[in-house]
Amino acid sequence: MKKMWIGGEFVGSHSEKTFRVVNPATEEILAEVPRGDRNDAADAVEAAAGAFEEWRFMPGVERADLLHHVAAACRHHRTELARLMTQEGGKPLIENLDEVEWVAACFDFYAQVGRDQKGRVIPPVQRDQFNFVVKEPYGVVACIVPWNYPLLLMAWKVAPALAAGNCVVIKPSEYTPLSTLRMAECAFSHLPSGVVNVVTGYGVEAGEPLTTHPKTDLIAFTGSLATGKKVAGLAALGMKKINLELGGNDPFIVCDDVDLDVAVRGAVWAAFLNMGQVCTSAERFYVFESVADTFIQKFVERTRALRIGDPLGPDVDLGPMIAEFQRKKVEDKIEEGRRAGAKVLCGGQRPPGFAKGFYYEPTVLTSVDHTMPLMKEETFGPVAPIMVVKGIEEACRLANDSIYGLGANLYTTSLEHVFYAMERVKAGTFWINDPLTDNDAGPFGGMRASGFGRELGSEGLEAFRDTKHVHLDYKLSSKPYWFPYDWSKARKTE
């Protein structure tokens, strides 16, 4: 049985209960993991709080060196971590090898950014004064991480939080805790005891106590809108700071001035990467009518050519979905679209030949419109509904016809189309001719129901630092505007 990582050591749960981690490709049990409870969450928070004073005052260059060590350890154990993520999450090994490298790059980035500056000096309002702004860590950060990118989305929270001087408690998804526990052992164990802690378990039993514990100061959460609302409500009771990334329903606009072969390849990848289980997946396509028939034909051809199979490979593009519940949600949504008039051009079923595993064929639909939930709600699965539009104005109007605003994609060679769409579509990230590419130096996050706060970039560091204004009068003297007031100098009024 695996154990949790609390206070620099592996421990079992107070509850003495466990849960099973299942391989979504084979449905085999990989391991049993402690089913953490309120007491385990409290232990982890106390460990983090106890380590905070030492960690926050550690010189920046020393903290940076420790974070670079995390990055180096990730690279050293890259294959092992990637295989573990593939076994517990179903994402193809080739994608998880990339994920581990992105994790390492994130820790390297914040190792440097975290020691770049601690605030700024501002001009005083009087003589003999000095004013400066200091950035300080909050204290204990609870990092609640989803299953689709278990190490990357953890790193986006933990790396800047640590660089800012906070200590953290990580609550991984109950579907993918194994890679996080292994990373605690191979990449976090050199950190001072209590700086990083990992509590495994279910949201209500382990995540909610982390959110409500009086010594957690900030909650960083990635997940569904419904759960995000609950996290926000619980955090508000304790006046805690929160960073929320709550998914999306990203539009993908294809204009009539592009190389369709390139656009189709980008579109298929944006739709079906990790079986569409990506918060920034392209979930609805708007294609100019003059090229729609050709685009749809090429899109279907490339979708049918995708290889489904064992995510450990080789020669596989798509693995299984994470679990039966997620596959069933997709099936229900496609059936709902069919009943409303949508046409399935390919996919729309479980692939033959797979007795085990949560596999589903990548699906392309047409004859869709905005009365269908497919076009306005997050699907989080391998589904690509394509709608024909007359031009950029209609495409942008429809792109905004959703409560979400996480990302948006545009394929065009027209600068006029670029600026028209960029200035009008509500999205935290706007990709032009290159879908889903992230940049550690650029902020990531959503608008509207996709949440608030930012990860990555300098904004990602700021999300984990509080602001203090220091006003210093270095020449001790009385001020003429103190008591008692000199009324003779007051302006006389008629």
Residue 297, CA distances (Å) to 300, 306, 391, 402, 449 in order? 5, 15, 20, 27, 33
Instruction: Identify the band that residue 407 occupies on the pLDDT scale cut at 50, 70 and 90.
Output: very high
Whether the model clears a pTM of 0.85, i.e. scores above it, the answer is: yes
Alpha-carbon distance 77 to 187, whole Å? 9
- Residue 446, pLDDT > 90, answer yes
Most distant CA pair in the chain, distance:
95
Domains of the chain: 4-246+464-471 (3.40.605.10), 250-432 (3.40.309.10)
Q: Are strands 343-346 and 167-171 parallel, antiparallel or unpaired?
A: unpaired
The per-residue pLDDT for 1 is 77
How are beta strands 465-473 and 129-137 bridged, if at all?
A: antiparallel
Q: Give mean pLDDT, residues 213-236.
A: 97
Which residues, 6+ apart, have CB-to-CB distance to 478 below 8 Å? none
pLDDT per residue over 45-66, tens digit each? 999 999 999 999 999 999 999 9
CA distances from 267 to 175, 284, 395, 435 (A): 28, 10, 16, 8
Average pLDDT, the chain: 97
pLDDT band at 490 (very low <50, low <70, confident <90, very high): confident
Asked if 23 contacts 87 with a C-beta cutoff of 8 angstroms, the reply is yes
Q: Which residues are catalytic?
A: 245, 279
Kindly tell me if the per-residue pLDDT of 491 is higher than 80.
no
Count Cα neighbours of 384 within 13 Å in the Cβ-side half-sphere: 32
Q: What is the pLDDT of residues 261-277, one digit of tens each?
A: 999 999 999 999 999 99
Average pLDDT over residues 212-231: 97
Q: DSSP secondary structure string, 199-268?
A: --S-IIIIIHHHHH-TT--EEEEES-HHHHHHHHHHHHHTT-EEEEE----EEEEE-TTS-HHHHHHHHH
* Tokens encoding 434: 């290159």
Beta strand ranges found along 305-444 (DSSP E): 343-346, 363-366, 383-389, 404-405, 407-411, 429-432
pLDDT value, residue 464: 98
pLDDT at position 117 over 90: no
